[in-house]
Chains A and B, each alone.
Chain A
Amino acid sequence: MGAGAFVCGEETALLTSVEGKRGEPRPRPPFPAEKGLWNVPTFVNNVETLANIPVIFTEGAEEFSKVGTAGSKGTKVFAMAGKVNNIGLVEVPMGTTLREMIYDIGGGIPEGKAFKAAQTGGPSGGCLPESALDTEIDFDTLVAAGSMMGSGGLIVLDETSCMVDISKFYLEFTQDESCGKCPPCRIGTKRMLEILDKITLGEGTMEDIDNLETLAKTISSSALCALGQTAPNPILATLKFFRDEYEAHIVDKTCPAHVCKKLLRYEIDATKCKGCTLCARNCPVGAIVGTVKEPHKIDAAKCIKCGACMDNCKFGAIFKA
């Protein structure tokens, strides 16, 4: 019944699912250690937790504690992905900085693009800005910085990522994966997603930011399980560190990273355009006008923002604005 549902990573949902029921969390208390699978005491641990135990047994607690920070001992496996040269699983001592991970282990950002944020903790986590690159990461420092360790996901975002769009991506995920049991998560995440949608379409108002914050507060304080309680995190973190991007979408009706299609304009730089007509011939809707050997122009009203012109221009004359 779990059917691969994300929420079945929540221990009580996992147990409910194993019992053959719809994968849904149940309230704690009673905790699984008192009443778990089929109402008998049950321990639920992550594979990673269990994997640490042999080391402690064979090497001793003291040896184990030598690695890591004051609050978080041992190592941690991160799943590094996104805009980074070396993607994959990395096991590092607790206390390693983001910079070490992204630049030393990850080999930096492809095409020499600028770092924008590191998203940690999966859909329940948050995005950390450049200023956090030198934080020694462990359970506590990540929370203090506005994110979390969570699943150990580490997604690197560069200057081409739109932070509103990233939030939307995570909210789409939580909304899809919400088991639906409690209204804050079932309906609340939908409402947040709708607002983000509105903002990325250029229809947002400054009031929407207040509404996002109210919703986030309601949901995190009232949802039944961690999935719902942490669902607002991607929004809260991006609002905290990248509020200017939200405001650019709302006030200036632009997407600074040129990701949100509705806010995007393709333009032709007249000084670079040779009038080769290639773009006009490739535009599927005939939005480009101009005569041979004269600079061309894009009719914004017709343009469907497919990017075919830009891909085809040999002179780099087309740009996103």
Chain B
Amino acid sequence: MAMVNVIIDGVSVQAEAGSTVLEAAQKAGINIPTLCYLKDINQIGACRVCLVEIKGAKALQPSCVYPVSEGLEVYTNTAKVREARKGVVELLLSNHPSDCLNCVRNGSCELQDLAHQMGIRKNRFIGEQSTFPVDERSVAIVRDPNKCVYCRRCEAVCSKVQGVSILGGIGRGFNSTVGPAFGHALDDINCTLCGQCVNVCPVGALAEKDDTDKVWGALADDSKHVVVQFSPAVRVAISEEFGLPYGTISTGKLVAALRRMGFNKVFDTNWSADLTIMEEGNELLDRINNGGTLPMITSCSPGWVKYCENHYPEQLGHLSTAKSPQAMFGAMVKTYYPQTDGVDAASIYSVSIMPCTAKKYEAARPELADSGYRDVDAVLTVRELARMIKQAGIDFVNLPDEECDAPMGLGTGAATIFGTTGGVMEAALRTVYEVVTGETLPKLELEEVRGTMGEIKEATIDLNGTQVKVAVANTLARAKEIMEKVKAGECDYTFIEIMACPNGCVGGGGTPIVSSLQRRLLNEDYRALRTKGLYNDDANLPLRKSHENPFIQKVYADFLGEPLGHKSHELLHTHYTPRKKYNVGCNE
């Protein structure tokens, strides 16, 4: 890598040619403030918060996009720079509701941080404030354009990472804002509710729909038997909310916290992830052996499922009919569990903790009521759960490790890795291989499918002489690439895993928000760190193959019969709905 010498505030540093002043300054020990900048995703020099003085340049320059060059002299802290940055932040605040005390981002807001850092005690600029309508229609995401600072990070992630391009600049001048075309509500269009936009929003303009009151209400209601499941990625993501290092597995503390909050039973979505593998693995074999639609594509990511319904409605036959682990759990907890415990199914209130905003949408799908009730009554993101734990005053970090309840609380390592890209594939193959070949897998770790953000991974597996080609994709932009091939009939894969979010659910839209600054300071992508945590968890668990889970064997013996059997079809499989891109206006 070619290096150039630059001088930042009198300090000489070497910076990679092609890197920016912002990056070089970080090497010189200076964290220039930013707002619209988001590493690798949004570098547009728009917000003017990162302005610096460059020797020889007439105007102040945005350090996030200004390229370094040999001998470049930069001043990051002159009076002119400070005054300009402060002025810009004051202007932003002059069109911002000073609503911090009532705001979901109070304490984790990048605008708040800037105002504090700039020492703004009184705003010199006052005037009219925007009054856009707030979009609260969807069950998953709330969009309040009045808090939007027009950083365009959501727009960049939705178009560049997800390839969905729902969000874009609308209006001119003071009326500029970001939103779906023609002011449509997210609910009316092809938004996947993946929540990636929420994860990158520096302020409270995009947030998950808050269901914490609903859950507190259920917990306070003595007539309700409140059960909870938490998905694979939650056990790792929750740690960050309590200051633990990225990648820390906190399963035991999480269980303890949920018990202290008052849940009657604490179960684990890992149990139903193992169940998913049993059903989906057998469905795959069934499709291979009986000429079913191939490639079969996983269906456990609701962001992906909605994307497929909106964008490839004619390809829905490729989706596995197996429900997602959340949905399987929901159906089982109100049918199977009452049989084992004697609880009245009607009194059960089922809550799930998910790394995902789209899971709120999944839970609300009308067809997911096979138990005779709503299978899942409330979905909380990791962020909402963390808020509740904090509200309850629970000292999370110092909790003892506790174990989940039986019979739906035990999962294998195969289930744990559902939380990351490639994990469902690896888990499925661990089981499918042994079912088909009758032999024990020589090596459990299927490195070929373990990918990173925005990667497509391929592998070929030898199943008793049959070569099965599989692919794994994360992010919807990559899903689109695969689907274009599937659509064109140019796809020789047998089985494909798709997760909507970057790195899979560890990067889900309901996970803790990692600020732009934190992302810059970390040496590794935070999602990759969460993934490492899950792989460690898998490696440390006594059971690592879904079919070896004794509680899964038990549920088939006592209740379901066999995979793909009658009861499974009734409770564990589902169908999909072709959808237009827009419910309103015209469709192309």
Shortest CB–CB separation between residue B578 and chain A, in angstroms? 29
Interface string of A22-37 (1 = CB under 8 A from B): 1010110110000000
Residues from chain A with Cβ under 8 Å of B125 in the complex: 187-188, 191, 211, 215
CB pair B48–A180 under 8 Å, yes or no, is no
Residues from chain B with Cβ under 8 Å of A176 in the complex: 172-173
Q: Choose, from B80-88, B242-250, B332-340, B398-406, the stretch at the interface.
A: B80-88
Shortest CB–CB separation between residue B87 and chain A, in angstroms? 3
Neighbour of A22 across the interface among B94, B124, B168, CB < 8 A: B168
Residues from chain A with Cβ under 8 Å of B80 in the complex: 221
Q: Choose, from B39-47, B266-274, B365-373, B374-382, the stretch at the interface.
A: B39-47
CB pair A29–B67 under 8 Å, yes or no, is yes
Whether a CB of chain A sits under 8 angstroms from the CB of B150 is: yes
Interface string of B540-569 (1 = CB under 8 A from A): 000000000000000000000000000000
CB pair B169–A221 under 8 Å, yes or no, is no
Whether a CB of chain B sits under 8 angstroms from the CB of A178 is: yes
Residues from chain A with Cβ under 8 Å of B44 in the complex: 26-27, 181
Shortest CB–CB separation between residue A132 and chain B, in angstroms? 25
Residues from chain B with Cβ under 8 Å of A187 in the complex: 91-92, 94-95, 125, 174
Whether a CB of chain B sits under 8 angstroms from the CB of A222 is: yes
Whether a CB of chain B sits under 8 angstroms from the CB of A79 is: no
Whether a CB of chain B sits under 8 angstroms from the CB of A224 is: yes
CB pair B46–A182 under 8 Å, yes or no, is yes
Whether a CB of chain B sits under 8 angstroms from the CB of A83 is: no
Whether a CB of chain B sits under 8 angstroms from the CB of A239 is: no
CB pair B88–A222 under 8 Å, yes or no, is yes
CB pair B173–A175 under 8 Å, yes or no, is yes
Residues from chain A with Cβ under 8 Å of B126 in the complex: 191
Residues from chain A with Cβ under 8 Å of B539 in the complex: none
CB pair A183–B173 under 8 Å, yes or no, is no
Interface members, chain A 177-228 (any B CB < 8 Å): 177-184, 186-191, 194, 211, 214-215, 217-219, 221-224
Interface members, chain A 65-115 (any B CB < 8 Å): none
Report the separation of the CA atoms of residues A38 and B61 in the bound assembly, to the nearest whole angstrom: 23
CB pair A183–B84 under 8 Å, yes or no, is no
CB pair A224–B94 under 8 Å, yes or no, is no
Neighbour of A180 across the interface among B61, B128, B150, CB < 8 A: B150
CB pair A27–B62 under 8 Å, yes or no, is yes
Report the separation of the CA atoms of residues A190 and B88 in the bound assembly, to the nearest whole angstrom: 13
CB pair B66–A183 under 8 Å, yes or no, is no
Whether a CB of chain B sits under 8 angstroms from the CB of A229 is: yes
CB pair A222–B150 under 8 Å, yes or no, is no
Report the separation of the CA atoms of residues A175 and B171 in the bound assembly, to the nearest whole angstrom: 12
CB pair B87–A186 under 8 Å, yes or no, is no
Neighbour of B171 across the interface among A180, A189, A190, A214, CB < 8 A: A180
Interface members, chain B 304-351 (any A CB < 8 Å): none
CB pair B150–A26 under 8 Å, yes or no, is no
Whether a CB of chain B sits under 8 angstroms from the CB of A257 is: no
Q: A187-B91, A191-B91 are in contact. Are A179 and B172 (CB under 8 A)?
A: yes
Report the separation of the CA atoms of residues A109 and B263 in the bound assembly, to the nearest whole angstrom: 85
CB pair B169–A186 under 8 Å, yes or no, is no
Residues from chain A with Cβ under 8 Å of B169 in the complex: 22, 24, 180-181
Interface members, chain A 19-57 (any B CB < 8 Å): 22, 24, 26-27, 29-30
CB pair A182–B48 under 8 Å, yes or no, is yes
Neighbour of A183 across the interface among B48, B62, B65, B67, CB < 8 A: B48
Interface string of B48-70 (1 = CB under 8 A from A): 10010000000111100111000
Q: A187-B95, A190-B174 are in contact. Are A218 and B84 (CB under 8 A)?
A: yes
Residues from chain B with Cβ under 8 Å of A26 in the complex: 44-45
Interface members, chain B 126-180 (any A CB < 8 Å): 126-128, 149-150, 168-169, 171-176
Residues from chain B with Cβ under 8 Å of A276 in the complex: none
Residues from chain B with Cβ under 8 Å of A177 in the complex: 172-173
Q: A22-B169, A191-B91 are in contact. Are A182 and B47 (CB under 8 A)?
A: yes
CB pair B45–A183 under 8 Å, yes or no, is no
Neighbour of A194 across the interface among B60, B62, B127, B176, CB < 8 A: B127
Whether a CB of chain B sits under 8 angstroms from the CB of A5 is: yes
Shortest CB–CB separation between residue A250 and chain B, in angstroms? 18
Residues from chain A with Cβ under 8 Å of B60 in the complex: 221-222
CB pair A191–B59 under 8 Å, yes or no, is no
Q: A187-B92, A215-B125, A218-B91 are in contact. Are A224 and B45 (CB under 8 A)?
A: yes
Pick from B67, B88, B168 the residue with the most CB of A within 10 Å: B88
CB pair B124–A211 under 8 Å, yes or no, is yes
Neighbour of B91 across the interface among A179, A183, A229, CB < 8 A: A183
Q: Could you write out 28 A-B pairs with CB less than 8 Å apart? A: A27-B65, A30-B67, A177-B173, A178-B172, A178-B174, A181-B46, A183-B47, A183-B150, A184-B88, A186-B173, A186-B174, A187-B94, A187-B174, A188-B125, A189-B173, A190-B128, A190-B173, A191-B126, A194-B128, A215-B87, A215-B125, A218-B83, A218-B91, A221-B60, A221-B83, A221-B87, A222-B88, A224-B48
Chain A contacts to B: CB under 8 angstroms: 5, 22, 24, 26-27, 29-30, 175-184, 186-191, 194, 211, 214-215, 217-219, 221-224, 229
6 closest pairs, A vs B, by CB?
A180-B176, A218-B87, A27-B45, A190-B174, A178-B173, A187-B91
Chain B contacts to A: CB under 8 angstroms: 44-48, 51, 59-62, 65-67, 80, 83-85, 87-88, 91-92, 94-95, 124-128, 149-150, 168-169, 171-176
Q: A183-B92, A190-B173, A194-B127 are in contact. List 6 more A-B contacts (CB 8 A).
A: A27-B65, A181-B150, A191-B127, A215-B87, A218-B91, A222-B85
